[in-house]
Chain A
Amino acid sequence: MLSAQERARVMQVWDLIAGHEAQFGAELLLRLFTVYPSTKTYFPNLGACPDRVQLLSHGQRMLEAVGVAVQHLDHLRAALSPLADLHAQVLRVDPTNFPLLIQCFQVVLAAHLQDEFTVEMQAAWDKFLTGVAVVLTEKYR
């Protein structure tokens, strides 16, 4: 799915995020909940106004999962299978929400990476994250 160049770009960006999963994840979730408030319905455990501690904790978990995906670009389905089961059986996040998360992810990357966020980076990450979303919703029915 991803070309060799695209994989390289995915890994390049990941190198800049690795070690900061909690902060990136927290900002991602804050943007998601601020811009698209209906997405909060999928996080009842975080409450109506999640605080920084909650965002950091949950954000870290989500970004670590993205990290798993980055390490297994050649076999995303296998690597993300338990998460795909979770989304299909328990979370059941409507598939239309994944593009919203991806938009916020791109905004976080763009805001933080500045000049390093080239058009090629954006294209590779959009393609990669969309692929992850496909895998996570594949077992829905």
Chain B
Amino acid sequence: MVHFTAEEKAAITSLWGKVNVEEAGGEALGRLLVVYPWTQRFFDTFGNLSSASAIMGNPKVKSHGKKVLTSFGDAVKNLDNLKGIFAKLSELHCDKLHVDPENFRLLGNVLVIILANHFGKEFTPQVQAAWQKMVTGVANALAYKYH
């Protein structure tokens, strides 16, 4: 069970408050699909993923990205119970979506990079550390129900 200190929780929640979930979600998923093209394997029905600009502008990518990041928002509000919050989603990703949990780690890392890009100096090493811990916690929670 991952434990967040008061400082880590503050770093996570205060930054999250300033994130545009819709934009950041689309950007995170888009960058994942561009930087790690093999992740496109899960999105055959998404239409045009033929170039970086096609991917970043793809409406299905943006919409799905928003959905994914909205879930992250739930995690931010429940840092003490990530496994509980993601139990159902974990089963879904294993049983129906068949997603290798390594993809959760990749997306988490891309999200951290996007936050660094948006927040610049404010994204200090300590803030990064809190967020890397957060995305690792989410990835592990999503992998927890795999069997």
Contacts and interface: CB of A to CB of B under 8 A. Distances in A.
Given A35-B132, A110-B114, A117-B117, A123 B52 contact: yes
Given A107-B123, A117-B117, A123-B35, A34 B129 contact: yes
A138 to B, nearest CB: 22
Residue from A106, A114, A117, A119 having most chain B Cβ neighbours under 10 A: A119
B113 A110 contact: yes
B112 A111 contact: no
Interface bin, chain A: 20 to 34
A122 B113 CA distance: 9
Interface in A64-106: 103-104, 106
A112 B114 CA distance: 12
A123 B34 contact: yes
Contacts of A112: 120
Contacts of B52: 119-120, 123
Contacts of A27: 125
Interface of B is mostly: helix
Contacts of A104: 128
17 contacts: A27-B125, A31-B128, A35-B128, A35-B132, A36-B132, A103-B109, A104-B128, A106-B116, A107-B112, A107-B128, A110-B114, A111-B116, A111-B117, A117-B117, A119-B31, A120-B34, A122-B35
A-B complex: 4 closest residue pairs judged by Cβ atoms: A34-B125, A110-B117, A110-B116, A107-B116
Interface of B: 30-31, 34-35, 52, 56, 109, 112-114, 116-117, 119-121, 123, 125-126, 128-129, 132
Given A107-B113, A110-B117, 20 more contacts: A31-B128, A34-B125, A34-B126, A34-B128, A35-B132, A103-B132, A106-B113, A107-B128, A108-B116, A110-B113, A111-B121, A112-B120, A113-B117, A119-B30, A119-B34, A119-B52, A122-B34, A123-B35, A123-B52, A126-B35
